[in-house]
Amino acid sequence: EWVRLEVPAARLGLKPGTLIDGWAFAQHGGTVYWDKAGLRTFTPQEGQTFDSLTAWVRAQRASGGALLPKPIQQIIQLDRSKRTSEQKKQLLDYFIENAYAKTRPLFEPLHQKLAEVEKQRAALDKEIPTTLVSFERKEPRPAYILKRGEYDQKGEKVERQTPAFLPPMPEGAPRDRLGFAQWLVAPNHPLTARVAVNRFWQQFFGTGIVKTAEDFGLQGEPPSHPELLDWLAVDFREHGWDIKRLVRQIVLSAAYRQSSKVTPDRLAKDPNNRLVSRGPRFRLDAEMLRDQALAVSGLLAERLGGPSIKPWQPPGLWEAVGYTSSNTAKFVPDTGHEKVHRRSLYIFWKRTAPPPQMTTFDAPSREACFVRRERTNTPLQALVLMNEPQYVEAARALAERTLREGGATPRQRLAYMFQLVTCRPPDDRELDELVAAYGDHLSS
C-alpha cells in the first residue's frame, strides 16, 4: 500500500527563500520502497514552468525581473491594487505569450518571424543614407562679443537684434531665423527689394541701376536712377515678389526695347550707357553662351537634375594640379548625348582646374561668390569659338539643321540660320554680306 507523505516546510524550520540542495532518506528496520520525492512550491523548480500569473509575478518581483522588458518590470513592482486595467492587460498578455507553458509554444513561431522582420529592417536602415539636420534649441545660446575674435575670450553679452542703423525687428517677431526672414521682407526694410530688382536689371542691361550690385553701402556707387529703383522695389514687393511679373515688366519697357545703335553725340554724353540712352548690347555669360550654341544647333539635352557632367577639356589639365591618389587626378570626359550636351549648370568644376572654355569667357572661380562679372574681349575667345570641340560640334549640327529646315537656296538658309542665332531676321544689307561671304568661302 502506497502512502503519500507531505511535510510543511515551516514544521522543519525552513523559511521562505531557503535553498534546498537535496534530501536524504533513512529507515530503521524492514524495507521501505520510495517512488517519487519533490517539493510543492509556488516557484517552479529547474525545468518547470509557471501555471499561475500570481506566482509568476511574485517570483519575478523577488528576483528583480532583470530579463523582462522595462515596461513589464515597472508594472510588476507596482502593488496589484495600484495597477490600471491597461497595465493588468499588458501584464497578462506578456505572461501568456512568454511564460505560460500551454500557450507559449503557440507564440514562438510569431516571435521568430518578428525577430526576422526586425533583422531585415535593421539591415535596410543601414543601407539608407543619412544626413545631418538642425533644430532650434529650447533656450537660445547666449552670444558675446569676442575679444580679437578669440572664441574663448568672451566680452560683453549681446542680444539678438538688428544693427542700430537698420530698421528694428517687426513687433512680435521671434528673435530667430523666422523673425529674421520676416524682417528681411518687411515693408520698411531698405535693401531687400532694391537689391533684388537691381540684380534682375543687371541681368538684362549688363549693369545694374546701382553698378556695384554687391555693395549698396557707402563704398558702393550711388544709383543712376534712384527714383526708378525705388519704384521698381516697391512695386515688386507690393505684387508678392513676383519675379515673372518683374521680368516681363523690364523686357517690355521702352528702355529695354530701344535700339542699341548709338550716335556720336549720345556716345559722348553717355559712353557707358549709364543713362540708358540706348538698348543694352553685351556678350552673354560663359554658361549662357555654351547653352545658346547647343540650343540653336538642336543638341541641347533638356533633362533636369542628375549628376554633374564632364564635357571635353584639354588632356592632362587635371594632372598638373591633382593629387595622384585623388579621384580627380585624371580627367575622364563623358560620352553620350544625354551627358555631353546638358546645360552648363551641370558641368563639374574642379576648384584648382576650372573648365578653360568657361574661364576664357570670364566665368569666375568657385572660391567665392561673385555678384557681378567683368566682361573682357580677347583673341582667345574667338579661338575658343572656332576650335573648341563643343562649339565646332554645335556649328556642324547647326549647319545640318539648316540644310534640313532652312529652305532650298543659300539665301533662304542663311536667313534661317541668322534668325536662329540672333532671334531676329537679317536686313537686306546683312543678308547680302552673308551670301557674299558664303560664296567666297565656297569658291576658295
pLDDT digits (tens, 9 = 90+) for 214-269: 999 889 999 999 999 999 999 999 999 999 999 999 999 999 999 999 999 999 99
pLDDT (0 to 100) of residue 65: 81
pTM value is 0.65
pLDDT of residue 265: 93
3-state secondary structure 385-435: HHHCHHHHHHHHHHHHHHHHHCCCCHHHHHHHHHHHHHCCCCCHHHHHHHH
In terms of pLDDT, which residue wins out, 44 or 196?
196
- pLDDT score, position 47: 60
What's the residue count for the chain?
444
156: part of which helix (H) or strand (E)?
strand 154-158
pLDDT of residue 248: 97
Distances (CA, A) of 187 to 74, 181, 184, 382: 58, 12, 9, 48
Task: Judge whether residue 313 has pLDDT over 90.
Answer: no
Q: Where does the pLDDT of residue 294 fall: very low under 50, low under 70, confident under 90, or very high at 90 and above?
A: very high
- Whether residue 157 contacts residue 142, with contact meaning beta carbons closer than 8 Å, is answered with yes
Range in 1-10, 106-115, 355-364 the model is least confident about:
1-10
Give the mean pLDDT of 360-384: 91
Other CB atoms within 10 Å distance of the CB of residue 280: 15
Lowest mean pLDDT: which of 36-50, 141-155, 191-205, 208-222?
A: 36-50
* Distance (Å) of CA 379 to CA 217, 313, 317: 36, 19, 21
Quick one: pLDDT at residue 43? 64
List the chain domain ranges: 24-131, 169-281, 286-391, 406-443
pLDDT at 286: 94
Residue 44 pLDDT class (50, 70, 90 cuts): low
As beta bridge partners, residue 301 has 342
pLDDT band at 46; cut points 50, 70, 90: low
d(CA 67, CA 72): 10
Given a contact cutoff of 8 angstroms between Cβ atoms, the answer to whether 312 and 393 are in contact is no
Q: What 3-state class would DSSP assign to 191?
A: coil
Q: What pLDDT is attached to residue 45?
A: 61
Question: DSSP label at 139?
Answer: S
> What DSSP character marks residue 37?
-
Tell me: pLDDT of 114 over 80: yes
Predicted pLDDT of residue 395: 96
> Which pLDDT score is estimated for 417?
95
Q: What is the mean pLDDT of residues 43-51?
A: 67
Instruction: Supply the mean pLDDT for the chain.
Output: 89
pLDDT at 14 over 90: no
pLDDT at 48 over 70: no
Amino acid at 191: L
CB atoms within 10 A of CB 50: 19
pLDDT band at 135 (very low <50, low <70, confident <90, very high): confident
Whether the pLDDT of residue 51 is over 70: the answer is yes
Over residues 95-109, mean pLDDT: 89
The HSE-up count of residue 131 (CA atoms within 13 Å, CB side) is: 2
Mean pLDDT, residues 20-40 taken together: 76
Tell me if residue 143 falls in helix, strand or coil.
strand
Mean pLDDT of 60-78: 87
Q: Which of 360, 368, 362 is nearest to 390 (CA)?
A: 360
On the 0-12 / 13-18 / 19+ scale of CB atoms within 10 A, 30 is exposed
Identify the pLDDT of residue 232.
97
pLDDT value at 427 more than 90:
yes
Mean per-residue pLDDT, 159-168: 86
For 52, list phi and psi in degrees, rounded to 5: -130, 130
Contacts of 442 (CB under 8 A, 6+ apart): none
pLDDT at 210: 96
C-alpha span between 113 and 115 (Å, rounded): 5
CA distance 428 to 439: 16
pLDDT at 320: 67
Distances 130 to 81, 117, 135, 136 between C-alpha atoms, Å: 47, 22, 16, 20
* pLDDT band per the 50, 70, 90 thresholds, residue 167: confident
Note the pLDDT tens digit of each residue in 170-214.
888 888 889 999 999 999 888 999 999 999 999 999 999 999 999
Nearest to 211 by CA among 166, 201, 258: 201
Residue 333 and residue 310 in contact, taking contact as beta carbons nearer than 8 Å: yes
Q: pLDDT digit string (tens) for 320-354?
A: 666 667 777 788 888 989 889 999 999 998 888 88
| H or E element, residue 199 | helix 192-205
